[in-house]
A and B are shown apart, each in its own frame.
Chain A
Amino acid sequence: MTSEMLLQLFERGEASWLGQFIRMSLWLFPVIETVHLLGLCMLGGAVLLVDLRLFGLGLRSQPLAVVARGAQPWLYLGVGIMLTTGFLLAISEAVKCFHNPSFWVKMITLPFALLFTFAVRQRLSINRPSMGPWRRGLLATVSLALWFTVAMAGRWIGYSS
């Protein structure tokens, strides 16, 4: 897919009924934005809880698998809120997003953060809790680095336009 085709896709998204509906409202964008931020709190809290435990911090009297399994539903809920509201925010100003470097940093890092969190970090924490401190530390560091980039780039979309 060329960037020309991608731009057309974004233009069609913005011109869509949904994109225009959010765009035309004075209140809708800010309201969706605040829900996006509340989703950040939930997702971030669940991510950090497990990362802290991997470092031997936070809920450290509890087995790693218990903390990771306990965080799982809230990770899903947080991701669900973030993806839904994020899609709505992006479609309402899709062309602006297309020309925004921070948006692309976020879109490229986000799949890696999701994949790493669920397919690697959560899976190993629940199924292979016997791994040593170095491997645990590595998991937490990669997780923090990926999510920090996603969140920072996300906030920066608003500044770099």
Chain B
Amino acid sequence: MTVKAALEWLAQTPWSIALHESQYMWPFTESLHVLTLTLFVGSAIMLDLRLLGVGFRTVPVTEFTSRLLPWTRRGFAVMVTTGAMLFYATPVGYYQSIFFRIKVILLIAAGINVFVFHTRTQRSVSAWDLDATPPRAARVAAVVSLVAWAGVVISGRLIAYNWFSCDIQPQSDFINWAAGCVLGPPK
């Protein structure tokens, strides 16, 4: 069974149809997804500004990582939950959206950056906790984080636009390949 076939089955499940066709549940879920950006990406930006040495320069870096990061994680949990619900409502549409695919790639990149920061860069934090401008590795992590999460937000927002939809043909061969479009026989 292909991924697309599995998602087509998922789209036929009653809860998926109910969510997809609901008048208020879907908009509320999406609104919660968007508003939680303030908690999740917003708090991540605040940490990144500190790591860059452009904001909160007198606040120890560990104050951010130990006290603010739990809130970033809570925000992330809401993002993943509401994001999964939105995906569940229209699984094939997201799977074949080029912007959704870009978003997933950027999410992985952002995740790798978080992993590298926590397992490597942050290990020496006690040596630069109070530095107004943290070392280069920390600043690089902050820039990568800002770029990756901004990319996630941008591609996420653009999913709503159907410029490159498989349903709207002709598209270029590259788009059809990148979005995984399955083209029927020419009519």
A interface with B by C-beta (< 8 Å): 26, 30, 33-34, 37-38, 40-49, 52, 57-62, 66-67, 70-71, 73-74, 148, 151-152, 155-156, 159
| CB contact under 8 A between A62 and B158, given known A45-B41, A48-B43 | no
Bound-complex Cα distance A73 to B154 (A)? 24
Q: Chain A residues near B153 (CB, 8 Å)?
A: 34, 37-38, 41
Q: Chain A residues near B6 (CB, 8 Å)?
A: none
> Is B49 interfacial (CB 8 A cutoff)?
yes
Residue of B nearest to A60 (CB): B67
A59 touches B64 (CB 8 A): yes
| CB contact under 8 A between A61 and B67, given known A41-B42, A41-B153, A74-B55 | yes
Residue of A nearest to B150 (CB): A38
Bound-complex Cα distance A33 to B55 (A)? 26
A74 touches B49 (CB 8 A): yes
Contact of A45 among B31, B38, B67 (CB under 8 A): B38
A48 touches B38 (CB 8 A): yes
> Is B104 interfacial (CB 8 A cutoff)?
no
Bound-complex Cα distance A21 to B158 (A)? 20
With A49-B68, A66-B56 known, 15 other A-B pairs at CB within 8 A are A30-B157, A34-B154, A37-B157, A40-B38, A41-B37, A41-B38, A44-B39, A45-B44, A45-B46, A49-B43, A70-B55, A70-B59, A73-B55, A74-B46, A155-B30
Bound-complex Cα distance A48 to B35 (A)? 12
Bound-complex Cα distance A57 to B49 (A)? 20
Chain B 144-182 near chain A by CB (<8 Å), digits 1 or 0: 000001100110011001010000000000000000000
A59 touches B42 (CB 8 A): no
Residue of B nearest to A41 (CB): B41
B158 touches A155 (CB 8 A): no
A30 touches B46 (CB 8 A): no
Most buried by B among A33, A47, A59, A70: A59
A37 touches B34 (CB 8 A): yes
Q: Chain A residues near B142 (CB, 8 Å)?
A: none
